[in-house]
A and B are shown apart, each in its own frame.
Chain A
Amino acid sequence: MSTFDVNAVRQDFPILGRRLAGDVPLVYLDSANTSQKPQQVIDAIADHYALHNANVARAMHQLGAEASEAFESGRSKVAAFIGSKRTDEVVFTKNASEALNLVARVLGDAREIEGRGPIGPGDEIVISQMEHHSNIVPWPLLCERTGATLRWFEVTDDGRLDLDSIELSERTRVVAVTWVSNMLGTINPVAEIVRRAKSVGALTVIDGSQSVPQMPVNVSELGADFVAFTGHKMVGPTGIGVLWGRYELLASLPPFLGGGEMIETVAMERSTFAAPPARFEAGTPPIAQAVGLGAAVDYLSSLGMENVAAHEQQVTAYALGRLAEVPGLDIIGPREAIERGGAISFTLGEVHPHDVSQLLDSQGVAVRAGHHCAKPLHQRFGVQSTTRASFYLYTTEAEIDALVEALNHTRKYFGV
């Protein structure tokens, strides 16, 4: 494996050279929100539009063949990147939210799920208090449609999932949890959760939005039934997400949206449906985005995900140490870089996170402020909102220093 040189990596990201209002350099610490894009990804998308653009799967001309080849090559690359045994287990969606909604919708619509009947009254859907709204909201909606009951794992004071807070049983049909928390940074023991779910015959849905970009992921070894993630957080474009699903399961489920590309044959009253993944990809798919995502996983693979994870770990450890020095700053979530990803949420005395982020922005430091689409988790910790700094493969220790300096400036400004 090549050695990881963050300064060389930064040269690939044109935006990191930007200067902002007041002629200050950009310090981008909002990668859990969306990552920046390397030139290689930008070029792949531009090249596709400039030279190969056509619709896929239906255009009979040469450009159509090139576009189809490029689109499907994006799928193969993603499949290889996440250790999927089959390319057709990768379903393209518009984002992770759509991927999770797709699963919840088709599981609710299915008349039979692998030898068990439809989800209905008496059945339980299990999520956790740590979820992003996109892995919360679809599940109560499923429960409303089917009569199933929603339950959830609680979160401990130090920001870990409390796996013993509820007992799974033969009533549990689905366990849907996040791999890495977008607010706390916690890396959850998903292998253990999958094991427990399997032992009671429940399906598992893993939200990999924050894990797939940050660490080596092998969906076949994990043994989950579904893993959802999004392209734009892993140096890829917006507008494309991925639902990976176990093939036999995907093949047994009803379609999600109806339209072009997802059918076998159509009559006015009844259609039969294509095999996965096409069954779940109605209409013209995100073609250029799939090309861009293919370039993104090529880029990540060339760096080595082990290296990306190690860098993330190192920067996070450094940031946890430096932030602990800021008077009045309180980190919500694990305070040690153990089983922890690169997102750190905190409060700064009585200064509201909006005001913190505004002051940081005036110094060129971009962070997120608010509830980070995790309202129940904020409630769990008794805070209405937090400020979140999140790191990625291009983040430097010097940028963490700039954050700390800007936070101290903010303290002085608001007199805390």
Chain B
Amino acid sequence: MNAANVDALYQEIILDHYKNPQGEGLRDDFDTEVHHVNPTCGDEITLRVDLDGDIVKDVSYAAEGCSISQASASVMYELVHGKTVAQAFAILDEFHAMMQSKGQIEPNEDVLEDAIAFAGVAKFPARVKCALLGWMAWKDATSAALSLKEQEQS
């Protein structure tokens, strides 16, 4: 595994999600919206979260960026929508740990499903931020949505 081996980075699953992104587009029903930018490259994402009780009812997004950041947002959508907030955060933690592991952690396919394809990305330090862009936006938007709900209840 080295920089010459780009196939480890551009897994078939990643290229598929890049070409056919799931859940793409900004939808009108949402609790919170965030805009995240990767300052080093300018990749950006606008992301909306719609919570129904403790269920992540929808995540909608408009992103501009490389194949890794686009595919990652698409995979993230598939993994978190319809899950409980707690489940979704657990998946985020698993994904985050895999991305920070420099390829040392054996990813848990039961939890990460298609996202295990990003294990190869973890070996390219310059691209880890690309893979995390959508997830960090989701985390931010969901945290904001949760505190919004708390305020409404109090």
Contacts and interface: CB of A to CB of B under 8 A. Distances in A.
B126 to A, nearest CB: 8
Given A352-B65, A355-B67, A385 B6 contact: no
Interface in A355-403: 355, 358-359, 361-363, 369-371, 375, 378, 384-385
B2 interface: yes
A59 interface: no
A414 B16 CA distance: 11
Given A362-B4, A362-B6, A369 B127 contact: no
A22 B41 contact: no
A369 B41 contact: yes
B40 A20 contact: no
Interface residues of A, number: 22
B42 interface: yes
> For the side of the interface on B, what is the size category?
20 to 34
Contacts of B2: 21-22
B151 interface: no
Contact of B40 (A355, A359, A370, A414): A370
A366 to B, nearest CB: 11
A338 interface: no
Contacts of B70: 352
Interface in B42-93: 42-44, 64-68, 70
B67 A20 contact: no
A166 to B, nearest CB: 27
Contact of A371 (B5, B42, B66, B124): B42
A361 B40 CA distance: 18
A8 to B, nearest CB: 30
A406 B70 CA distance: 23
Interface of A: 20-22, 24, 352-355, 358-359, 361-363, 369-371, 375, 378, 384-385, 413-414
9 contacts: A20-B3, A21-B4, A21-B5, A22-B4, A24-B4, A352-B66, A352-B70, A361-B3, A385-B43
Given A355-B10, A385-B41, 16 more contacts: A21-B2, A22-B4, A22-B5, A352-B70, A353-B66, A354-B41, A354-B67, A354-B68, A359-B6, A361-B3, A370-B40, A370-B41, A384-B43, A385-B42, A413-B6, A413-B10
The 5 closest A-B CB pairs, nearest first, are A22-B4, A354-B66, A21-B2, A352-B66, A21-B4
